[in-house]
Structure 1
Amino acid sequence: MTSFFDAALNGLDPVTFVFALAIGLLAGFVKGAVGFAMPMILISGLGSILPAELALAALILPTLVTNGMQALRQGTGAALASARRFWLFLLICGVFLLGSAQLVRVLSTEALFMLIGVPIVGFAVLQLAGWRLRLTVTQRRPAELIMGAMAGFVGGLSGVWGPPTVAYLTAIDTPKQEQIRVQGVVYGVGSVLLLLAHLRTGVLTAQTLPLSVLMLAPALGGMVIGQMLQDRLDQEKFRKITLLVLAIAGLNLIRRSLMS
């Protein structure tokens, strides 16, 4: 057990390690409340105190496990129904995630973060101001293709694929419970692909895996607390909080682009 903790610390001092656990708790709480933003919080917070590849490795298992819990909260049948409804988004997201993950060591993400962050912030602010994007039935298929591709591409590079997904689900007025479940399904599939992709790239190794395992405890604890809040929110409050978190997520992407 001692050797496992030594491996998990990966050369970190105790203060940095405790700070990492606190970031995991916060990320779990936000995910439990609105169904997304865990990778964004983890990669932003951990990336400020850990090497970039170690931060990316640390978020892989917490993201995978919490997405599975979220997708299956209403049962396997409901999760499968959501997967069938959004099969195209899942397929496109997965293809682009696997492709872009191979570029993680060679492609700069600054411009990509800016290109994703600016429209996401604009969308969220306009929605909060009262403007509502309405997609017709004929518009939904191309929007699903575009947003799925965006989510997968940025997800493979950074582990963050939530904002484009949430923007699309919000634009088609997905009910709260189904939106949370669909996000869990989409992110869950993406998490499995992310794990497989980074086993291949060498980001997730025997040296980085122990920290990812230890990050599970605070992430799961925070998620349970966040779900208690989520259950108390009606559809409109949930929508507004989701848009607020989405705006913060977009601003964070812009910040990362400018600060890199």
Structure 2
Amino acid sequence: MSDLTLPFLAAFIGTFLIAGLVKGVTGMGLPTVAMGLLGALISPVAAAGLLLIPSFVTNVWQLFSGPSLGIIARRLWPMMVTILVGTIASSALLSADTAWTGSALGCVLIAYALYTLSGRQLSVPASTERWASPLVGMLTGLVTGATGVFVVPAVPYLQALGFSRDDLVQALGLSFTVSTIALSLGLAAHGSIGFGNLALSAAAIAPALAGMWTGQVLRHRISPTAFRRGFLICIGLLGTELALRPLWQ
């Protein structure tokens, strides 16, 4: 990127501090927040390129945060394979960087915010997991490749599988790590990742980790539920602005 002005750099650092903070408190949300905030300033494909390295680093940290990685990976590998396939297949949509790419991103943010705020808790019977996991993985991959957002429908699905709290954190880390790798491959295949973007993405690691550490400290001093509700309302409002932006441009 060539427009590295002081206001942009301040917004860039602030974005990853906030995104890391949200992830530290709630255990997820860094790519969602980063895509939402940066997508309001620059093109979604440029925003996706900037979140790749901090997303990978923080999600690998989360992935290895517990002892059950092998068990979780054996259970979820069909979902991970189809996330990879779906993301690479649809990454041309994000790379095309049309006026409606940001609108699609906004719609995904709105859907995620509304679903989570509704408080619904799904339950997936063990008998359906064999076919549901690949299907959810494919849908998640298609959404990831088109918008750069990893959470829909992977997060509600993983929450519905009955994992313990610690295993759910690891399962989310696995899904987000695979999604980040798949998005990197898809964008690279379409020439949408430049060296300058990667260098700036690497520079985002420090504010993202600082925000994540701060969030982990705050998690024991504030209500995670109230914090998450406020975060989701902000994500919904931001998604609305992104979704409607093409109508007044």
TM-score class, shorter-chain normalisation, is 0.7 to 0.9
Is 1:197 aligned with 2:186? yes
Q: In the TM superposition, what is the alpha-carbon distance from 1:42 to its structure 2 partner? A: 1.0
1:228 corresponds in structure 2 to 217
Q: In the TM superposition, what is the alpha-carbon distance from 1:16 to its structure 2 partner? A: 1.7
In the superposition, the TM-score normalised over structure 2's length comes to 0.83
Q: Counterpart of 1:257 in structure 2: which amino acid?
A: A
CA shift digits 1:124-154 (9 cap, x unpaired): 2432xxx543222223344433322221111
1:258 corresponds in structure 2 to 244
2:55 to 57, 63, 68: 63
Greater mean deviation of Cα atoms: 216-225 or 240-249 = 240-249
Greater mean deviation of Cα atoms: 105-114 or 18-27 = 105-114
1:211 corresponds in structure 2 to 200
1:92 corresponds in structure 2 to 82
CA shift digits 1:153-175 (9 cap, x unpaired): 11112221123221112223332
1:165 corresponds in structure 2 to 154
Q: Counterpart of 2:83 in structure 1: which amino acid?
A: C
CA distance in 2, matches of 1:152, 1:217: 28
CA distance in 1, matches of 2:69, 2:230: 26
CA distance in 1, matches of 2:160, 2:232: 13
Is 1:177 aligned with 2:162? no
State the SS of the aligned residue for 1:149.
Answer: helix
CA distance in 2, matches of 1:173, 1:123: 18
CA distance in 2, matches of 1:36, 1:42: 12
Contact kept? 1:97, 1:155, Cα under 8 Å = yes
Contact kept? 1:24, 1:219, Cα under 8 Å = yes
Aligned sequence identity (%): 25
Q: In the TM superposition, what is the alpha-carbon distance from 1:238 to its structure 2 partner? A: 6.1
In the superposition, the TM-score normalised over structure 1's length comes to 0.79
Q: Counterpart of 1:59 in structure 2: which amino acid?
A: L
1:53 to 40, 45, 65: 45
CA distance in 1, matches of 2:127, 2:234: 30
Gapped regions of structure 2 (runs ≥ 5): none
Q: In the TM superposition, what is the alpha-carbon distance from 1:97 to its structure 2 partner? A: 0.6
Is 1:152 aligned with 2:144? no
Q: In the TM superposition, what is the alpha-carbon distance from 1:20 to its structure 2 partner? A: 0.9
Contact kept? 1:28, 1:223, Cα under 8 Å = yes
CA distance in 2, matches of 1:140, 1:241: 32
Greater mean deviation of Cα atoms: 46-55 or 156-165 = 46-55
State the SS of the aligned residue for 2:93.
Answer: coil
2:123 corresponds in structure 1 to 134
Q: In the TM superposition, what is the alpha-carbon distance from 1:243 to its structure 2 partner? A: 7.3
CA distance in 1, matches of 2:135, 2:182: 19
Q: In the TM superposition, what is the alpha-carbon distance from 1:63 to its structure 2 partner? A: 0.7
CA distance in 1, matches of 2:45, 2:184: 13
CA distance in 2, matches of 1:189, 1:170: 17
Distance 1:136 1:162, change over 3 A: same
Distance 1:223 1:159, change over 3 A: same
1:33 to 9, 19, 25: 25
Q: How does 1:232-251 map to 2 (within 5 A)?
A: 232=220, 249=235
Equivalent pairs, count: 243
State the SS of the aligned residue for 1:56.
Answer: helix
2:72 corresponds in structure 1 to 82
